[in-house]
Amino acid sequence: MKELRSIWWSRGSVVIIDQRLLPKKLKYLRIRTAKEMAKAIKDMAIRGAPAIGVAAAMGLALTAYRCKARNREVFLKRLRRSAEILRATRPTAVNLFWAIERIMKIAEESETVEEIRKNVINEALKMAEEDVETNKKLGRNGAKLIKDGDKILTHCNAGALATVGYGTVLGVIRAAVEQGKSIMVYACETRPKLQGARLTVWELMRDGIKVKLITDNMAAFLMQRGEIDKVIVGADRIIAKTGHVINKIGTLSHAIAAKFYNIPFYIAAPFSSIDFEHNLDEIVIEERDPREVLYVGKERIAPKGTEVWNPAFDITPPELISGIITERGVYRPEELKELSSGAGGRGE
């Protein structure tokens, strides 16, 4: 597999792959402030739940790196302000809030300005490294479920680009391929932002993994034809209390179709995507600009005055989910509740 990193720290700034330009161009964006990072997250230059978590952490590291304040309280105030700006970017993926909380805790516990700066930057870099390790573990756990010759359907992009590297769903597929299994991936294009067509297909082709692109409305027909052995998708937030999974819009339709045709439906996600705290009705499902639906590329496809609903995510209930593949093993959705009750909130 060719190493692919979506984000890294580089001498006081952060470099990300500008995912808006793929697959046409592989271009990098240099980010110098938390505000620039917030814009990159909001505009989806970087996207995918684990990736935006690390991006937010690195955004805070940029503030810590640049802030000239010598007074601890002033320094912390600047960090809190950056945290607020980063929190306001995208509401649904829990990783974003988890990462900001983790960095801010370290900052608030550090005693001097020098310590805050050092600890915040180190923690953000550590999170990036951890992410890749987590995905490799998750990948190995998931690969045990995959048989040689399996045809796997996925939605959106839960690959190296959606994480720091290796990927969650694509991590499972990469690990299975590394074990010598022959896998065929069906990638759903994922309207309206086309992460499947633009990013998943690009990533898999880059690694020489067999992939076929379909439009989202072709998935059920493929299942009816007996062409799909497993469905594996990612998660933006898993509600531990009930086992509901929030993921890219279109996931629910695949889960319903998979249940109807008796096809195992798996979620691949790290523990940082599990929300041990909130109830489902407290979660905000992001609604995005209507133009994403009204246009395909630069081409407008609906009449002037068309009304649009454009939720970025949907909610799959636990009864449609065969298992949740994590770095600590594979769980049934109802098992997460037990983890959360005994865990002081983090499943640890």
- For ligand MRU, the closer CB: 75 or 265: 265
Structure tokens belonging to residue 285: 């499902």
To ligand MRU, the closest distance from the beta carbon of 244 in angstroms equals 14
- For ligand MRU, the closer CB: 64 or 245: 245
- For ligand MRU, the closer CB: 156 or 185: 156
To ligand MRU, the closest distance from the beta carbon of 52 in angstroms equals 7
Structure tokens belonging to residue 200: 């998943």
CA distances 315 to 84, 247, 281, 318, Å, are: 26, 7, 11, 10
To ligand MRU, the closest distance from the beta carbon of 311 in angstroms equals 11
To ligand MRU, the closest distance from the beta carbon of 100 in angstroms equals 16
Q: State yes or no: is 236 an active-site residue.
A: yes
**Pick the catalytic residue: 131, 150, 236, 275?**
236
CA distances 33 to 37, 59, 61, 67, Å, are: 6, 6, 9, 10
- For ligand MRU, the closer CB: 110 or 326: 326
**H-type helices in 92-240, by residue range?**
94-109, 113-143, 169-178, 195, 201-206, 219-224
The neighbour count for residue 4, using CB atoms within 10 Å, is 20
Burial class (CB in 10 A: 0-12, 13-18, 19+), 261: middle
- For ligand MRU, the closer CB: 185 or 312: 312
CA 226, CA 67: separation in Å to the nearest integer?
A: 58
CA 167, CA 1: separation in Å to the nearest integer?
A: 12
- For ligand MRU, the closer CB: 146 or 169: 169
Give bridge partners of residue 289 from the DSSP assignment.
none
To ligand MRU, the closest distance from the beta carbon of 235 in angstroms equals 6
Burial class (CB in 10 A: 0-12, 13-18, 19+), 105: exposed
C-beta separation of 54 from 127 below 8 A: yes
To ligand MRU, the closest distance from the beta carbon of 54 in angstroms equals 11
237 HSE (CA, 13 A, CB side): 30
CA distances 271 to 6, 136, 241, Å, are: 20, 13, 14
Q: Which residue is nearest to ligand MRU (CB)?
A: 234
Burial class (CB in 10 A: 0-12, 13-18, 19+), 218: middle
To ligand MRU, the closest distance from the beta carbon of 37 in angstroms equals 15
- For ligand MRU, the closer CB: 163 or 322: 163
Q: What percent of the chain is helix, strand and coil (3-state, nearest 5)?
A: 45, 20, 35
Give per-residue burial for 275-293: e unless 16+ CB within 10 Å, then b. bbeeeeeebeebebeeebb
Instruction: List contacts with ligand MRU (CB under 6 A).
Output: 47-50, 93, 156, 158, 162-163, 168, 195, 234-236, 247-248, 312
CA 244, CA 324: separation in Å to the nearest integer?
A: 11
Catalogue the active-site residues.
236
